[in-house]
Amino acid sequence: MQDKVNQYLGEIKDFSATGKEQLEEFRIKFLSKKGIVPSLFAEMRNVAPEKRKEMGLFLNELKNTAQQKVEELKQTLESKQETRKANIDLSMPAEFIELGSRHPLSIVRNRIIDIFSRIGYSVSEGPEIEDDWHNFTALNFPEEHPARDMQDTFFIEKNPDNLPDGGQVALRTHTSSVQIRTMENNQAPIRSIFPGRVFRNEAISARAHCIFHQVEGLYIDENVSFADLKQSLYYFATEMFGEGTKTRFRPSYFPFTEPSAEMDISCFICGGEGCKVCKHTGWVEILGCGMVDPNVLENCHIDSKKYTGFAFGMGIERITMLKYQINDIRNFFENDIRFLKQFESTV
């Protein structure tokens, strides 16, 4: 018993508490009704009578040491709190609260919306799950076009009875589908952009992802010409990439536009001299565009004799990667705070 008491004495002397809860635990352990000290006193019964007095004194010492320790620590903790209170200086600036920052893709999307809003474009959105008609057929994709192939498209459901076009439902592969919905539901003239998320069955790499974002644009009115398209997109390019940005249009092919083109801008890094970003060509491709094919207008019940229009589509990731010189598309989706924090903070 003596050894046990000695051990407890050591434990009590060494004890210190960082908070009230810890101190209370200590008090309960040693001094509560069922604590160590009272139970040692209860064991006095078993001590030989001639040793009882000595043992009693010893146990009293244990009890007093424990009580003193509790008192002592209580006072220290209280005085610490007092000093903390006394040290509060109300004139000090508040503690810094870290602000979040907007995702780079949102920054660029908002900027694109802002630029086109200034020349009269409205903004609307369409569904991410699309039927074959809006994603392909109405956009003049021939039946056997490779883009309908399983390789590009995530099909969700095949042939449910109540859907048009053999009932194929897919995740939209581009925001051009929203052109169709807009033309079906609105009268010309139309001047709108459609930002949104798109999906393609592609292997994920530094340059490609199976989920990405596009902004589609559509302008339908009487007498809209290719010159209008060029001027509008030139305006966009200079607003987005800076005064002095040059544009060039290369002939291309999209089923829903005729003629079709891809627009390049002069490399804003090297000014056209040639660098890594433009692969030493002086130009970087930023979007696809063209005059809306009359078949597409007719598919949406717009009189193609009266109205003409242009459309364009760009990848938000691509523009963001160029603008901020980001070389791996996966950065956008990993949500590493060290990456995200580098862009402008929330406004």
Question: Which range touches ligand DAH (CB under 6 A), out of 11-19, 96-104, 121-129, 283-291?
Answer: 283-291
Min CB(267)–ligand DAH separation in Å: 21
- Residue 216 found at the interface with ligand DAH (CB under 6 A): yes
Min CB(337)–ligand DAH separation in Å: 31
- Residue 171 found at the interface with ligand DAH (CB under 6 A): no
Question: Which range touches ligand DAH (CB under 6 A), out of 27-35, 92-100, 306-314, 330-338?
Answer: 306-314
- Quick one: DSSP state of residue 214? E
Distance between CA atoms of residues 64 and 77, nearest Å: 20
Among 192, 312, 317, 331, binds ligand DAH (CB under 6 A): 312
Q: Specify whether the CB–CB gap between 257 and 141 falls below 8 A.
A: no
Structure tokens at 5: 């008491």
- Residue 257 found at the interface with ligand DAH (CB under 6 A): yes
- Residue 308 found at the interface with ligand DAH (CB under 6 A): no
Nearest to 152 by CA among 175, 170, 128, 179: 170
Q: Specify whether the CB–CB gap between 312 and 289 falls below 8 A.
A: yes
- Residue 219 found at the interface with ligand DAH (CB under 6 A): no
345: helix, coil or strand? strand
Min CB(105)–ligand DAH separation in Å: 16
Distance between CA atoms of residues 139 and 311, nearest Å: 12
- The two beta strands, 247-254 and 122-123, are unpaired
Min CB(333)–ligand DAH separation in Å: 19
- Quick one: DSSP state of residue 102? -
- Residue 313 found at the interface with ligand DAH (CB under 6 A): yes
- The two beta strands, 155-157 and 247-254, are unpaired
- Residue 288 found at the interface with ligand DAH (CB under 6 A): yes
Q: Which residues bind ligand DAH (CB under 6 A)?
A: 174, 176, 216, 254, 257, 288-290, 311-313
